[in-house]
Structure 1
């Protein structure tokens, strides 16, 4: 092996050890100290819980396009102003309006009994008088994909994939595919209707989980609904007898033209670089059965409260903190996509971003998609978050969250802040998504995480690598 000169050897060792160079992004020591104080203050601060209580009580369910949509936007504008944000504004978002009016279902034969079910977003209604047809069952989406269309034609397809609890909630990946793609596949094979076991982990509660399908206006769509887990069990037991099972669905729902809502945005203006932005937020809409406490009132409350803590510091942050309450995430990320399209040309001005949309369970892991020269700054952020129980996995990319992921696809540097989702899918998209499911201490831990990293990013010496198309190697593509 060729011997390296001492100075080159020392430099290579420093690089291997991850020691920051003069060109690396870093967080000043004073900012680190302030972030630690913010972190500790957030743990005892009740702003997030107060905001969440206000939203779920004064507005409640916030189905996109419903009467409550406008009330939610008015609430958000007023709350931003009450919390002292410097600039509050809205950006219009237009999307298809879907309405739910009535839903019911039952086994007609051989063992007549009612179902607990819920219509899925973008499902059409059944014909007048309902839809009655034989059921054909599948245990997986793969089995449905492989099925002969002749076995499906004119029947109601049922897919029985069962989610299990995991800290990272990874079974929802398949659960949501069964809900989103399953009806489209069944319709293409000639099915008359579609049922699935709810995409949820509450095995013993007779409550169905709603959610969106992959249908679009103008598609040849079929009525689609989710069964509660106990009702799915019952249907599977009936099918196991080997006799034809007939089900009646009666769904009164469907598209009702277009609707124009809005993303609602609040800013704390940076004192040195007001045009440079740290972006956080959540989505303002919710499904209609519950009050949207965990999905995603918690994300709105966490981001508003974190920014409020920064606002209340003796000196404003160097860069602008932008909190975005996104429109209509639930039925297709409409607000996220509109926002990213509108601001794509400004992506280089976005320092770093992520949103909160997995309830209020404790944040336990952080990962990031940033430029290599920003890794030392990420390590500093990780050190401040470590006492909160947050581990930093530098080997994993960041995604930006459900809504700001669209800006990440444009090239924004992004975090992923994984929350404990062990019980999140017990309540997700159900009538049980209510305020009592939120632990105020766990909610405060989230605020502490967001306040600390957001402030440190705003104070950084250097940037985090945002640029058009910067993170395609991480899979961040439009």
Structure 2
């Protein structure tokens, strides 16, 4: 009976699969990449499989000049990670190591916790207050539609470990740079600056950070046992996957768009950034399937964004002298586009009028301030490439960002489709606009 049921079930599933309607291009990319590759930590074998997957998918979609442009990078990988308060109220905490974290000994370390309500308080603390202790930095990041809170509160992750190390701390824990209250920590990269010695560095889930705050507030010494065993594995290959929609006029400049192929290792990188690849690729595919555009669209699935923007830097090094008419990237989840911003050499550019009309018909209006791009296209923006930001609704983005919860089920297909529509509308305008799109003054570049 069991065998008959299994055979019938298998036949039913096979029949259902064969008759299922094909996915649209955008969702199919998110679903395929997260299902067939999964997490894609930069510089690892998983990211290499993702590049192979990307090349096959982009060729199948009909893009031209599909290739991988390789580069090398230092690779950090996660190890074991546990934390437990041993006094005064013994209990386990949930945390995740930050990118480039130093390691504890295999047996871990036990030390007293010293807590700070924010990064400024840590900066102001005497070294003697910190030396030999485990620093804990909290904060109160809240959700915003434009994600603006990330810049300020993210400093606790980006620079907090170096500050704690310079003061002689044994390790640092931060409240996750996130807006959720799930017991899921948010990882993210940090770099050791000004010669700081690497120390163990990790993010507590928001509920665990708040629990630790309450325990510290009881006024008793708090001791914690921490084990983090990540390691640097040396220099390994990564790469950018590039595809094009050829244009009619080689002198009109390239329109550079894309997102990043790599992801953190906790989830499967659905919103960060398979969705960005899906949005830009689906929009470019619509242009590909229509009349040949004036300008070439160059679609880049950037490698190694999460670990320090290595793909964007490599692209600019390889292509920075080529004429780029415009650039834009999608790296803010899968939700709807609600406004746009630009940064053109001519503040009264005819293109701005065209975009305002075309996107306005979709309910997407111009925002205040200049566009700045993102990590991957930032090096090209610094070289003077005009830029457009199609700003997506980030209200729930930092609930999921850099966590194990970044999985396919978080994709809202209706919102994803709206973002693809907005990108398609933008591209149809910019690829054929008569506006010459003069370059901006170059900005000082870091070595």
- 1:272 maps onto 2:272 in alignment: no
1:365 corresponds in structure 2 to 339
- 1:232 maps onto 2:209 in alignment: yes
| Aligned mate of 1:409, from 372, 382, 385 | 382
- 1:450 maps onto 2:426 in alignment: no
1:341 corresponds in structure 2 to 317
- 1:430 maps onto 2:403 in alignment: yes
1:327 corresponds in structure 2 to 303
CA contact 2:184–2:404 (8 Å) conserved in 1:
yes
CA distance in 2, matches of 1:442, 1:287: 23
CA contact 2:61–2:285 (8 Å) conserved in 1:
yes
CA contact 2:349–2:435 (8 Å) conserved in 1:
no
Alpha-carbon offset, residue 220 of structure 1: 1.1
| Aligned mate of 1:260, from 211, 222, 237 | 237
1:129 corresponds in structure 2 to 107
CA distance in 1, matches of 2:348, 2:288: 25
- 1:111 maps onto 2:76 in alignment: no
1:93 corresponds in structure 2 to 71
1:5 corresponds in structure 2 to none
The C-alpha deviation readout for 1:303-331, integer Å capped at 9, x for no partner, is 11111111111x21111111111111111
- 1:355 maps onto 2:329 in alignment: yes
CA distance in 2, matches of 1:374, 1:455: 20
Alpha-carbon offset, residue 239 of structure 1: 0.5
| Aligned mate of 1:177, from 140, 152, 155 | 155
CA contact 1:93–1:327 (8 Å) conserved in 2:
no
Alpha-carbon offset, residue 262 of structure 1: 0.3
* Higher relative contact order, chain-length normalized (CA < 8 Å, sep 6+): 1
Alpha-carbon offset, residue 417 of structure 1: 1.6
Secondary structure, aligned partner of 1:383: helix
Q: Which contiguous aligned blocks of 4+ residues in structure 1 show a shift greater than 6 angstroms?
A: none
Alpha-carbon offset, residue 467 of structure 1: 5.3
| Aligned mate of 1:155, from 133, 137, 161 | 133
CA distance in 1, matches of 2:104, 2:176: 20
The C-alpha deviation readout for 1:239-294, integer Å capped at 9, x for no partner, is 11111101111111021111111011011111233772111100000001111000
Unaligned 5+ runs, structure 1: 1-44
Q: Measured at CA, do residues 279 and 262 of structure 1 come closer, stay the same or move farther in structure 2, by a change above 3 Å?
A: same
Alpha-carbon offset, residue 401 of structure 1: 2.5
Alpha-carbon offset, residue 111 of structure 1: 0.8
Alpha-carbon offset, residue 400 of structure 1: 2.1
CA distance in 1, matches of 2:247, 2:85: 61
Alpha-carbon offset, residue 374 of structure 1: 6.1
Q: Measured at CA, do residues 373 and 425 of structure 1 come closer, stay the same or move farther in structure 2, by a change above 3 Å?
A: closer
- 1:82 maps onto 2:60 in alignment: yes
RMSD across aligned positions (CA): 1.8
- 1:294 maps onto 2:271 in alignment: yes
Secondary structure, aligned partner of 1:354: strand
- 1:389 maps onto 2:363 in alignment: yes
